[in-house]
Structure 1
Amino acid sequence: MTVFHRVTEGKLGSHDGCTIEDEVSQEFLDRIPGGLFRYRADDEGGTIDYVSRDVLELFGCATYEEFCSITGNSFIGMVHPNDRQRVTEEITSQIKCGNTDAVTYRLNRPDGAEVWVDDRGRYVVDDEG
């Protein structure tokens, strides 16, 4: 099981100085409707390090390995080739103004089916910058 940690300051959002750590399991993340994925924004193409089952289903994939072979395990590989430049420009522009982005694009599905998604992201700077 993969475990994700979220640290918040204070109890229930208060700022009394205590720290709360929550563990979120892979099973929990896989149950969130619509699908989730995470990628590194500091490398070319955005290497994916987490993808939920719903995202696999959107691509018509049975396994993570199949998804990786289709997308090259990168964010830009998820995006239909005809949408890649626009998506990259939109996300770059939005991140310059804040830490969130919203973009709509077609998926790069192996069967050629035209599937559009609304993608909402948050740019997070980790300890490594």
Structure 2
Amino acid sequence: MSYDTYTCSPPVSSSTPATLTFNSFQEGGDGGAESECDTQFHSDDTPVVALSTGWFNNKQRCSNSITIYGNGKSVQAMVVDECDSTMGCDAEHAYQPPCANNTVDASKAVWEALGVPEESDDWGKLEITWSDA
């Protein structure tokens, strides 16, 4: 099976449209290896995200905060990883397909701060906007 891959992402604005997805950045979580920015794992209770390859921009957003707007709320989260839009389906990427070019892959803490119930249909994939904090 082949997947679309991307090296670019849409331009970042004060209200950048994106799809929020769920990721565990903890050791043994579905994020796979340590976060690319700091070679650390991060608790599900910490608001952290991985950005699509284009937005990650060769680590240029590492350790920066972004503001995520969704479900009528907002939350700040720190960029700790890349959601690889160029490669996937291997051990390093937890056998997941490549990310789309408009993905903000977020920890459980981000989802909880946005007030999205775990049992809702929106949990795991939610249309949001984001901006640099």
TM-score computed with the length of structure 2 as normaliser: 0.27
TM-score computed with the length of structure 1 as normaliser: 0.27
Higher helix fraction (1 or 2) = 1
